[in-house]
Chain A
Amino acid sequence: MPVKILIIDDSMVARMGLKNLLKRELMDLKLTEAADGPEGLTRFAEVRPHLTFLDLTMPVTGGTGDLAGIMAGIMEADPGAMVVALTPDTQHKTMEWAVSLGAKMVLIKPPSQEDISKALKELL
């Protein structure tokens, strides 16, 4: 049975990079992408991924939806959802914020192969 992974990130480049890293780790993989929060919630409900990668730097203006709302939507759909938050912000408070929203792990962007390997081992 393939591992289902959802990537929610408004950056095409970031999604591309993450897909490459994931494909090196998993042979049987079903990848779904979303370019904003609302699309991410729709895809989450459709796919019920084993693991979700969520970018924390998606715009808060411009109508892509607030991150707390997106996380709340994911947790409501599946309280046991495994979400890895991605952010280039290294502040401890940002990590705490992401965890308080429900993320099981926070990775600094761009994630390394080692980061992804660790996330998959710990969360799948």
Chain B
Amino acid sequence: MDKFKELELDALREIVNMGLGRAAVRASELLNTYVRLSASALDIMDASGLSGFVAAHGVADESEYSVARQFFMGRLKGVAMTALPLSHGKYFSDMFVGQVDIAGHPDEKLLRQEALLEMGNILCSACVGRMAELIDDMVRYAPPSYYQCGHESIIPEHLITGNDMVLSLEVAFEFEDSVITGFLFLMLDRGMSPLLKETANTFINSL
């Protein structure tokens, strides 16, 4: 994999933060509560390095994650996974559930999952969308899907080709009285390194 320069990684984090800035508006609407979003760490690694990233940035004693997965297709093509520690995911979907008043409803579990899927969709489209704009790309998104897993299985094995790179982000959700952290992973073929570099350098040159 082509190594990314520090400035390129920094540019990608700024691009993602700009996407998250826009996403915060939609996230606040979804949850009916004010939230700020930011990416506090970004790295690009092989899929095998993901576990280490999660361990380094994850919540202590948290081993189970709620994951929203979504494929995206354009010149930029890959799969996005929004992963929240199970306990944080519950806090998060509690707000959604509270808002739509379905606590105790027979479909409550499904609706909680829907809340996480919708948040994953918001994050994925905001971040990938911002990158795509910079390189005049148009990206389409498949409907997201939900699953729960251990941190070592956030990327399902059957999706790993051995020729992947993962843009890994720690995302902070800042509410008025608390902060919860999760992850956004964008897995792409290594052949897209030049495209990510193009995105980063287009941004740098625009400043």
Contact = CB atoms under 8 A, between A and B. Distances in A.
Interface stretch (A6-14, A26-34, A44-52, A76-84): A6-14
A93 interface: yes
A60 interface: yes
B164 to A, nearest CB: 26
Contacts of A91: 24-25, 28, 34, 36
Contacts of A56: 36
Contacts of A94: 24, 36
A103 to B, nearest CB: 15
Nearest to A9: B14
A91 B25 CA distance: 6
A115 interface: no
B189 to A, nearest CB: 25
B7 A59 contact: no
Interface centre among A12, A13, A17, A110 (most CB of B within 10 A): A13
Q: Interface range on chain B: under 10, 10 to 19, 20 to 34, or 35 or more?
A: 20 to 34
A2 interface: no
Interface centre among B14, B172, B206 (most CB of A within 10 A): B14
A109 interface: yes
A14 B14 contact: yes
B135 interface: no
Nearest to A12: B10
A22 to B, nearest CB: 12
Q: DSSP majority for the A interface? A: loop
Given A88-B18, A88-B20, A13 B25 contact: no
Contact of B10 (A13, A20, A57, A90): A13
Given A13-B10, A20-B207, A94-B24, A60 B18 contact: no
A72 interface: no
Interface string B151-182: 00000000000000000001010100001010
B181 A61 contact: yes
B167 to A, nearest CB: 16
Interface of A: 11-14, 16-17, 20, 56-62, 87-91, 93-94, 108-110
**Which 8 residue pairs across A and B have the least CB separation, nearest first?**
A88-B21, A17-B207, A59-B40, A89-B21, A88-B18, A57-B38, A13-B11, A13-B10
27 contacts: A11-B13, A11-B14, A12-B6, A13-B11, A13-B207, A14-B14, A56-B36, A57-B17, A57-B38, A59-B172, A61-B40, A61-B172, A61-B181, A62-B40, A88-B17, A88-B19, A88-B20, A89-B24, A89-B25, A89-B37, A90-B21, A90-B22, A91-B36, A93-B28, A109-B14, A110-B18, A110-B207
